[in-house]
Amino acid sequence: MKRALVSLLFGFVSAFGVAANPAVIRVGVSTGASGSPATFGGAATAIAQQRGVLEAAFKPDGIRVEWVFFKGAGPAANEALASKQLDFIWQGDLAAITGKAGGLNTRILLGDSRLAPSYLVVPAKSKAASLEDLKGRKFALFKGTTQQLTFNRIAAQRGLAERDFKTINMDGATTLAALAAGDIDGVYLPVNALQLQERGVVRVIEDTRRDPLVAAHTHLLVDAAFEQRHPQLVQKLVSALVANAAWTSDEANRQQVFTGWARAGVPVSAWQRDYQPDALKQRLTPLLDPFFYAHYRDAVRFARQFGLIRKDVDVDAWIAPQYLREALKAQKLERYWTPLAADGKGAA
Amino acid sequence: MSLTETLPVPALAAPAATPRLAQALAGLRSRVWRGALALILPLAVLALWHAATLNGWVAQQILPAPALVWTTLLDLWHSGELWTNLAISLTRVAWGFSAALVIGLALGVAMGLSKTAEAYLYPSFKAISEVPVLGWIPLLIMLVGIGEAMKILVIAKAAAVPITINTQQGIRNIPQPYLEVARVYRFNPRQLWLKVIFPSTLPSLFNGFRYGLTNAWLSLVTVELLASSEGIGYQMVWGRQLFQLDVVMACMLVIGLVGLAIDLFLQITETRLLRWRRAAF
């Protein structure tokens, strides 16, 4: 009720072209919360949440920051944004693309993480040694999320497709139960694969570490209506996140970053192995470089080809790099991260 | 009442000569009337829906326009996806419901007839039935895997609960005098079942069946969400995950209509059977 009144008031105010500051900025996180206090792992934004950098940045304006976690991942966050319950979303590439293709008016502001390896895991007792060995077998897929895109890309590289496997749609928690029961034959998992392997539940038989083209990206985006009303708040948020990304990318903080992420459940040891031999800077760059653009363009092409979206998405118009550029300049961080060329290998 | 006022002639024409025809006509008229009444609410909702999308009261991504949902429904129909998925879901419900019938009737009869059976079974039955399906699923995956067996068990559990309770209640509520009369006439067990127990528990049984089927149909979506790659519930979830809410709405329509059709079928069967019961008494 209160929120309805507040948004009514905002509608009224913005009709006269005066955008008063909102009382609260709502940031959606496209993964379920874990740990206490609630947090998540693997993202620069997660460290920002733990360090309270956005709260500190908006305190002088009297604006609260609310973090909203979605167990239903990116698709659920999209629905919340469509219903005007969120202003920003941290999410993966595919969910953002399905949202955009579905008509959500969003703008991508900055990158969050990239090049995260995916691990092909099989039940501990399985004899499979490669993806090819799993042809025709039961493969878990959380459809509509980045996981599906990763899987399709890897399969396509090997001349395979989803239909070569018996894919079963299931969410993360169910996947873990089914793996433990030995009832699915394979799945691509992020870092928690290493944790499960440590516990002896699964075996990791392949990973995508050396392949920038299949690794997922995460980013932060904004509701375009919010951006139009409050460009200065968007700038403030991006600047705070860029400063945080610089802190998070600093090797001096490596241990602290992993410890922070471990609060969400995946232990430090798994993060250490996941990041071996990568520098933090390589994976936690906020840059919207040629690699970022190429990756999203390619993801759109894939999503269209696999029937995941019914409309094209113009990636160039979707990304709003001006806030990031401004933040990098103001903080003299233009040369801190190395931009990558479109293939994700050489420097741009 | 305008319908009765516009059609008074046949009813008055030959009331004595063809009372059965008049009765049938009156029955038909009231059925048409009731059908028309049933349409008012959906039509009002449709109008509201149309207005909401036309005026942009809600995000079109969340509530797509009726026309778009209709087009999507037709697309799904023509591509054959709808039929394949619906057939798979109906098969699951049929199996689950059949299993529920066996379990529910057995438990209900046992607990209805015997206080001892009730003492043994009722607390466990109640405790199990109160736990949401979500809690059982990890255990079920361990026991039977994520294949069809798990789905059918989840559906069966959901449907068996109301069937059991209504069967038990039905038997409990058989008027004592009926049983006494049966005893006086020295009915054998077969007669007792066919002439007393079965007919007088029938309304309650059908209550159980109808609730059971509703539950079966509802839990179908839950289980297809968790682990499936086919079925109408899956198609709905898939639409949601890809942010294609028109697919979700089209599936909702189909699920609602099929549920309604099944319930209608049960209702008609019940009326038939009860007519027979009236004749028997």
For tokens 């309650």, the residue is: B204
d(CA B143, nearest CA chain A) in Å: 8
CATH match of A119-207 with 3.40.190.10? yes
Answer whether B242 sits within 8 Å of A84, measured CB to CB.
no
How far apart, in Å, are the Cα atoms of A177 and each of A33, B91, B139? 19, 26, 9
**pLDDT band at B267, cuts 50/70/90?**
confident
Question: Looking at CA atoms only, how far is residue B71 from chain A in angstroms?
Answer: 14
pLDDT band at B194 (very low <50, low <70, confident <90, very high): confident
CA distances from B38 to A78, B41, B42, B262 (A): 35, 7, 8, 17
Query: Do the Cβ atoms of A168 and B228 come within 8 Å?
Result: yes
- Report, as an integer, the average pLDDT of A217-238: 96
For residue B35, the model assigns a pLDDT of 80
Confidence of residue A255 (pLDDT cuts 50, 70, 90): very high
Write the CATH number of the domain with boundaries A2-116+215-330. Answer: 3.40.190.10
* Per-residue model confidence as pLDDT tens digits over A1-42: 555 555 555 555 454 444 788 999 999 999 888 888 899 999
Q: Which helix (H) or strand (E) holds A207?
A: strand A202-207
Most confident among A44-53, A188-197, B11-20, B120-129 (mean pLDDT):
A44-53
The residue written with tokens 């089914």 in the block is: A178
Please tell me which of the candidates B142, B226, B245 has its beta carbon nearest to residue A170.
B226
pLDDT of residue A339: 95
Q: What 3-state DSSP class applies to A143? A: coil
In terms of average pLDDT, the best of A51-55, A277-281, B172-176, B256-260 is: A51-55
Residue of B nearest to A174 (CA): B226
The whole-number pLDDT of residue B63 equals 84
ipTM of this complex prediction, to 2 decimal places: 0.71
d(CA A181, CA A144): 25
Query: What gap in Å lies between CA A81 and CA A107, rounded to an integer?
Result: 12
Contact B141 A170 (CB under 8 A): no
Report the percent of chain A where pLDDT is more than 90: 64
On the question of pLDDT at A229 being above 70, the answer is yes
Residue of B62, B142, B226 lying closest to A181 (CB–CB): B142
β-partners of residue A68 are A28
Lowest mean pLDDT, pick from A2-6, A143-147, B9-13, B208-212: B9-13
Average pLDDT score, chain A: 89
Cα-based torsion angle of the residue sequence B228, B239, A139, A192 in order, rounded to the nearest 10 degrees:
-110
Backbone φ and ψ for A189, nearest 5 degrees, come out as -125, 155
Q: What is the DSSP letter of A338?
A: P
The answer to whether B61 contacts A104, with C-beta atoms less than 8 Å apart, is yes
Nearest of B128, B229, B92, B144 to residue A178 by alpha carbon: B144
Confidence of residue B100 (pLDDT cuts 50, 70, 90): very high
Tell me the C-alpha distance between B78 and B92, whole Å. Answer: 23
**pLDDT at residue B171 greater than cutoff 70:** yes
What are the residue ranges of helices labelled H in A186-279? Answer: 192-198, 224-229, 231-248, 254-262, 268-274
How confident is the model over B47-60, as a mean pLDDT? 84
- pLDDT recorded at residue A171: 77
CA A49 centroid distance within chain: 14
Interface test with B, best of A7, A170, A184, A221 (most B CBs within 10 A): A170
| Burial class, B55, CB count within 10 angstroms (exposed 0-12 / middle 13-18 / buried 19+) | exposed
Instruction: Give the closest-approach CA distance of B244 to chain A in angstroms.
Output: 7
A339 burial class (0-12, 13-18, 19+ CB within 10 angstroms)?
Answer: middle
Q: Is the pLDDT of residue A192 over 60?
A: yes
Report the alpha-carbon distance of residue A309 to residue A300 in Å, rounded. 8
Q: Please indicate whether, in this complex, the C-beta atoms of A75 and B242 are within 8 angstroms of each other.
A: yes
- Could you report the per-residue pLDDT of A85-127, keeping only the tens digit for each? 999 999 999 899 999 998 899 999 999 999 999 999 999 889 9
Region B66-280: CATH code = 1.10.3720.10
What b-and-e string marks burial along B198-229, b requiring 16 or more CB atoms within 10 Å of the CB? ebbbbbbbbbbbbbbbbbbbbbbbbbbbbbbb
State the average pLDDT over residues B216-230. 80
Instruction: Compare CB distances from B145 to A78, A183, A309 and report the shortest one's residue.
Output: A183
**Tokens of residue B37, six digits:** 């009444």
Q: Pairing state of beta strands A187-189 and A119-123?
A: antiparallel
pLDDT per residue over A147-156, tens digit each?
Answer: 888 888 899 8
Let me know the angle formed at the C-alpha of B110 by B104 and B112, rounded to the nearest 5 degrees. 95
| Residue in B138, B141, B240 closest to A75 by CB | B240
Q: Which residue of B has its CA nearest to A162?
A: B229
Q: Quote the CA–CA distance of B177 and A34 in Å, as a whole number.
A: 62
Chain B interface residues facing chain A, Cβ-Cβ under 8 Å? 58-62, 137-138, 141-142, 145-147, 226-229, 234, 237-238, 240-245
Q: What's the pLDDT band for B10 if we cut at 50, 70, 90?
A: very low
For position A331, what pLDDT does the model report? 96
Of A79, A143, A310, the CB nearest to B62: A79
Q: Which residue of A has its CA nearest to B229?
A: A168
**Chain pair A-B, CB pairs under 8 angstroms:** 87
A2-116+215-330 and A119-207 have identical folds: yes
CA distance A313 to A333: 30
Q: Which residue has 């499936």 as its token pair? A: B228
**pLDDT (mean) for B219-241:** 82
Q: Read off the pLDDT band of B3 (50, 70, 90).
A: very low
**Average pLDDT over every residue of A136-165:** 86
Confidence at residue A344, expressed as pLDDT on a 0 to 100 scale: 85
Cβ of B146 within 8 Å of Cβ of A170? The answer is yes
Do the strands A64-69 and A24-29 form a parallel or antiparallel pair, or are they unpaired? parallel
Nearest CA-CA distance, residue A172 and chain B, Å: 10
Minimal C-alpha gap between A266 and chain B (Å): 21
Instruction: Give dist(CA A171, CA A72) in Å, integer.
Output: 8
Domain ranges of chain A: 2-116+215-330, 119-207
The pLDDT score that the predictor gives to residue B8 is 44
Q: Structural domain boundaries of chain B? A: 2-54, 66-280
